[in-house]
Structure 1
Amino acid sequence: MTHDHDLVLRPTEAQTAAALAPPPGRTGGDLVVETLRSLGATTVFGLPGQHALAVFDAVGRSDLRLVTLRTENNAGFAADAYGRMTGEAVPLLLSTGPGALMALPALAEAAAASAPVLAISSQVPAAGLGGGRRGHLHELRDQAASFRDVVKSVQVARTPSQIPSAVAEAWESALTAPHGPVWVEIPEDVLRAETLIPQVTGMDATPHELAPRPELTAVAAHWLSRASRPVIIAGGGVIRSDAAGKLRQLAERLNAPVVTTFGGKGAFPWNHPLSLQSWLEDRHMTDFLEDADVLLVVGSGLGELSSNYHTFFPTGRVVQIEADLGKLESNHPALGIHADARLALQALLETVAERPDPYAPDRVRMVLSAIADRLAAQDVTLEQELLASIRAALPPRSPSFWDMTILSYWAWSAFDAKHPNTMHSAQGAGGLGYAFPAALGAAVAEPGTPVLAVSGDGGAMYSAAELATARQHDLDVTWLIVDDGGYGILRAYMEDSFGRSTATELTRPDFAALAASFDVPATTTTPESLTADLKKALATPGPSVVVLPATLRMFAPTHL
């Protein structure tokens, strides 16, 4: 009997001849590039550095598209967004030591958001490894250790023959649910060394499918079919597994209201009769979720933001579908189903019974009406109007990327993303400076589609250098900068907690003039002219900047 794993693909005569006579002058850097091309990569992000030059030389001789940014962290954010938009593993090429460490915040965000970034870093020459101090430029005692607690997996190649397998294993890891960033490290001398290893072809790094256990989905289907008040919380896992359609089918079959987490924006139609939208930071919504007799959580760990700052305590049964094993029941006891959201939802659709409930839309309207009444009692009309203006200007299929700024905090709850995978923010890890470089990465992924980035003036200073990148690559990104003269959300937090703020007021540039110095068109707008100015900027090819001087406020705390 012959088993599949006994089969060996025999090379053709042409393949054998090519393998015996590889092109001269190839290096370890070429092995990296050939492996990436064989795996399907078309685009790489990164910055050159002394120890990584052999990789960049190989990229320059290949047909890979190289997108360089001005800092490693911003290159990581751009790769993160490219991965979110395409679902592909995205190579991020980094140098050693300081250059590598500069990417840590971006990789932390990719880890929190399950973005498949494949970071490939150089290292000091192999003779300098081993924990000593040899005096090499950029030397770290254990560089990989700095990343091991952040990324999903670490691969180290110490010889040329290890490079293809190390890169392929990392690729497979990045794309196996839950997606996430991975790390490959290769010494400089290994990247520079000439190699007689045949050209890399036929690499296979097919990600593993994470299917649910049928006995678990059977129990979940039984509970949901017989529930009196089922509710669904849809997280980012629904977006990443392209399962929005299956989510809608299940919700409609069960007549179950659906609320999306901030990472799951767009997973369910905003104005659907069963849509609770995204008002998770509201006590009315928290009470409604707590009252569910069966709560189905799909693709969310119910972390701090999704649980209204850990003030959410469900009283009924909880079913949690999650691809990240460590998140199962990490915050609440549940029937934990370790699975990809799409496969688990499909299993439920095959087994769940239809559940009539003519009153479910009425219950949804009551909750949303109570939230609207609460907001109407506060002085937050400007903030709601600004979101409406942005929504009116942004084409329905255009992606938007939001930094950690007050308007973004509003958008998490109140912005209609229109479609799955069109609204992204840095709320996973919460670092500043995400929006603009991420939008650049999305523009590379979807050429011809205008992309919006939204930042405050504080976060904008993290990314201002990338105006040069936007111009250099002529990317269709409009950057809206809300200028309130400081770290607005931190100012509000400090004033609420301590009665005054410290270190939140900032000297900043004339952002319109700064953009113009990069030959990027810019305009200063007002709340009244925001829609028209954004529409014009988004419709004009290439980068643009729109500056909105405005001091915004958050809605009153709703988790007390």
Structure 2
Amino acid sequence: MPGDGNAEAWPMMGHEWLVRSLRDSGQTHVFFVDAVLRRSLLDMERLGVQPVLAHTEKAAVYMADGYGRVSGRPGIVAAQSVGAANLIAGLQDAWLGRSPVLAITGRKPIGHQHRNAYQEVAHAPLAAPVTKLSAQVQEAADLPRQFRQAWSATVSVPPRPVHLDLNGLMGEFVETTETGEPPAALAGWTAPRHRPQAEPAMLRAAAEALRSSQRIAIVAGDGAALSGCGAALLALAEALRAPVATSLGAHGLIDTRHPLHIGVVGSYSAPPANRILHAAELVLLVGCDTGDQVTHGWRVPRPGTRIVQVDADPLEFERSYATEVALLGDPRAVLEALLPALGGAARDGAFLAEAQGIRAAWHREIAPRLASEAVAIDPARLCAEVTRALPADGILVADTGYSGIWTGTLVDLAPGQTYLRAAGSLGWAFPAALGAKCAAPGRKVVCWSGDGALYYHLPELETAKRRGIAVVLVVNNNSGFGQGWPGYLRQAGNRPAAAEQVLRFGPTDFAGVARQFGLRGIRVEHPRDLAGALAEAVAAEETVVVDVVTDIDCRAPEPWTP
């Protein structure tokens, strides 16, 4: 290997093979909680791969998750045997979010198994629900084959976590045995690794179905975002004169200000998208999983709607809707082939005009809130300011719940910007933002987190400081769990204090907390100060916490329900 002075040292110890393979595969960071792979971690520092020590295994996984979503290469995360259960619990979001993550754990050797070994539980049953592959690695001789298999599996469609369970509490038996194989160089294996094309007969059938209807809507999902099919999607939508909705995970796949864009659809949506989609005669689903969130409980599209579906994963067909035409292939490749198959048939555009009218009316309705001068601050105004502050190539990372709804409905995004969202794990966003920044050091990363979410992984402020990872952490600080607040108040009736005891906390000055960690903190209590605070934070080369005092009684947009 160039520059390491030890290129022809055969056979090679397991820890050397692993680190050189990570380096030669383009990995810049590995996220971990001690004690695991100690020889490997020391080698990483020498060979240019940065080990990032986190304060919890779940935070380390979320960092690897953010890294994987931005880079397309698997985020690498490691923990010793006793930390495996915590690490594996963190893989749930990567599994649901279709993210490439390679998790490495140590395990007690076979001679210690089933003998009440200290801190040991079986790892395979824990990993089974949240990994595509979970395998035991006995010694370094097995590592090259299993490493390549795991990497290949995690970047294939759908990208999802994989798990290698290394022999030894800290993986030491794999580190200290030998392999005669050269290090792997897998930098070209990125998600999605394969881009299969649909059958010509199915393309013709889909084109015929699309030509037969004038009331077509398109829904692009997380699989479409993975494929990077924004340009092809927009070209097809323009040819069909069809409005385009996205899942939350595909927010920003096309310019959210484009006349064809109608917003995020489903349970985490503003009213227009569901209403428009429900009125469609035919819906083209592109890399969209048809789960309950994106379909608002399987009510949108309405039952009986004609469905043409494009997906690289055959298991997504017929899950929730009967499919008139199913196109198996990479969304970008399929859409690029489908466009010429459509021909030049004229479209009347009436349905698109109807959709644009609905969207425009809602924009007029929400506009006053985007400019609100209210104190405490309306999060809608914060959304407007984040839209203006996010650089042209910026990455916006949003937590789950209300963080996803606020950003998915009211933050506009343009091509070149990237949106990452939690697939359901509260507290995911901040560590994931750190991982995203590690994968894209030249891009600005803005994290939107509620205060309730931030409490999960607040200690990672120390990680950001120690490792010099610069993100903008925007805290929507309303001293409580805002999404569930009205429901609890209603149920409490004449006992509002009971509701407060359940869902309110703080108030906490997170700007002051940031300063205790040695970071910059900016407290914002008035809307007029938002733009300046965000500009200062984005310009900084360190993590800056922008603590925004918001009104818990301000409601995010509500989905339209049939």
- Give the 3 Å change call, closer, same or farther, for CA 325–111 of structure 1 in structure 2: farther
Deviations along 1:229-279, one digit per CA (max 9) or x if unpaired, are 111101121221111111111111221111111111111222222121225
Quick one: distance in 1 between partners of 2:239 and 2:387?
A: 30
Looking at structure 1, the residues matched to 146 and 451 of structure 2 have their Cα atoms a distance apart, in angstroms, of: 41
**Could you tell which deviates more after superposition, 502-511 or 156-165?**
502-511
User: How far off its partner does 1:376 sit?
Assistant: 7.6
Alignment correspondent of 2:3? none
The answer to whether the 8 Å contact 2:144/2:184 transfers is no
Following superposition, the deviation at residue 549 of structure 1 comes to 1.2
Is 1:122 the counterpart of 2:106? The answer is: yes
Aligned to 1:171: 151
Bigger mean CA offset, 341-350 vs 109-118: 341-350
Counterparts of 1:352 and 1:496 in 2: how far apart (Å)?
53
Answer whether contact 2:370 2:381 (CA < 8 A) is retained.
no
Which residues in structure 2 correspond to 1:472-551 (within 5 Å)?
472-496=466-490, 499=493, 501=499, 503-507=502-506, 509-525=508-524, 526-551=526-551
Q: How far apart, in 2, do the equivalents of 1:299 and 1:235 lie? A: 5
Asked if 1:419 is matched to 2:415, the reply is: yes
Asked if 1:133 corresponds to 2:115, the answer is: yes
Query: How far does the alpha carbon of each residue in 1:116-174 deviate from its partner, in whole angstroms, 9 at most, with x for none?
Result: 11112111123224xx1342x3311x212201111122222123211111110010011
Please give the alpha-carbon distance, in whole angstroms, between the structure 2 residues aligned to 1:165 and 1:28.
Answer: 13
Q: How far, CA to CA, are the matches of 1:542 and 1:283 in structure 2?
A: 38
Q: Relative to 1, partners in 2 of residues 1:497 and 1:252: Cα closer, same or farther, differing over 3 Å?
A: farther
- Alpha-carbon distance in structure 1 between the residues aligned to 2:133 and 2:450: 34
Does 1:364 find its partner at 2:350? no
Deviations 1:412-446, CA, capped at 9 Å, x for gaps: 222212226611111x2x11111111111121122
User: In structure 2, what residue type is equivalent to 1:546?
Assistant: V
Q: Please give the secondary structure, in 2, of the residue aligned with 1:47.
A: strand
What CA distance in whole angstroms lies between the structure 2 residues aligned with 1:333 and 1:198?
49
Q: Mean alpha-carbon deviation: is it higher for 321-330 or for 83-92?
A: 321-330
Partner of 1:349: 339
Map of 2:443 onto structure 1: 449
Secondary structure of residue in 2 paired with 1:522? strand
1:46 aligns with 2:31: yes
Counterpart for residue 309 of structure 1:
297
Alignment match of 2:173 (pick from 190, 195, 202): 190
Note if contact 2:479-2:508 (Cα within 8 Å) is conserved in structure 1: no
Q: In the TM superposition, what is the alpha-carbon distance from 1:203 to its structure 2 partner?
A: 6.7
Residues 392 and 414 in structure 2, CA contact (< 8 A), matched pair in contact too:
yes
**Secondary structure in 1 matching 2:473:** strand
Deviates more, 1:146-155 or 1:412-421: 412-421
Unaligned runs of 5+ in 2: 1-5, 373-377
1:69 aligns with 2:63: no
CA distance in 1, matches of 2:304, 2:41: 56
Equivalent residue letter for 1:544: V
1:476 counterpart SS class: coil
CA distance in 2, matches of 1:209, 1:242: 11
> How much does 1:190 deviate?
2.2
User: Which shifted more, 258-267 or 376-385?
Assistant: 376-385
Sequence identity percentage: 26
Q: CA deviation at 1:471?
A: 1.1
Q: What is the aligned partner in structure 2 of residue 333 from structure 1?
A: 322
User: Aligned to 1:119, what secondary structure does the other structure show?
Assistant: strand
The alpha carbon displacement at 1:22 in A equals 1.6
CA distance in 1, matches of 2:283, 2:116: 57
- Structure 1 segment 354-393 matched on structure 2, within 5 A: 354-357=344-347, 358-372=349-363, 382-393=378-389
Offset of residue 115 of structure 1: 1.0
Partner of residue 261, structure 1: 247
Q: 2:344, 2:208 → 1: CA distance?
A: 11
Q: Which moved more, 1:338-347 or 1:195-204?
A: 195-204
What's 1:431 paired with? 425
SS in 2 for 1:351: helix
CA separation of 1:283 and 1:64: change in aligned 2, threshold 3 A: closer
3-state SS in 2 of match to 1:321: strand
Tell me, in whole angstroms, the C-alpha distance in 2 between the residues paired with 1:556 and 1:330. 26
The aligned residue for residue 375 of structure 2 is none
- For 2:241 and 2:153, how far apart are their aligned partners in 1? 37
> Cα RMSD (Å) of the superposition?
2.7
Question: Distance in 2 between the 1:417 and 1:78 partners?
Answer: 23
Contact 1:120–1:184, Cα closer than 8 Å, also in 2:
yes
Tell me the distance in 2 between the aligned counterparts of 1:396 and 1:43. 24
Q: TM-score normalized by structure 1? A: 0.88
Instruction: Say whether 1:79 aligns with 2:79.
Output: no
Output the CA distance in 2 between the equivalents of 1:196 and 1:311.
55
Q: Which runs of 5+ in 1 are unaligned?
A: 1-16
Q: 1:350 to 1:365 in 2, by over 3 A?
A: closer
Deviation per residue, 1:447-477 (Å, 9 max, x gap):
1322111111111111211111111222221
1:511 and 1:202 mapped to 2: Cα distance? 43
CA distance in 2, matches of 1:32, 1:377: 56
Contact 1:290/1:314, CA 8 A, preserved across alignment: no
* 1:149 partnered with 2:129: yes
Query: d(CA) in 2 for partners of 1:148 and 1:221?
Result: 40
- Greater displacement, 544-553 / 499-508: 499-508
Query: Residues 106 and 492 from structure 1, CA distance in 2 versus in 1: closer, same or farther, beyond 3 angstroms?
Result: farther
1:292–1:314 contact (8 Å) kept in structure 2: no
Map Cα deviations across residues 155-202 of structure 1 (whole Å, 9 max, x no partner): 221232111111100100111111111111111242243325344356
Which residue of the partner structure matches residue 405 of structure 2?
409
Q: Residue 165 and residue 497 in structure 1: after superposition, are their counterparts in 2 closer, same or farther (change >3 A)?
A: farther
Specify the code of the residue in structure 2 equivalent to 1:369: A
TM-score normalized by the length of structure 2: 0.88
CA distance 1:497–1:356, change in 2 (3 Å) = farther
Aligned to 2:214: 228
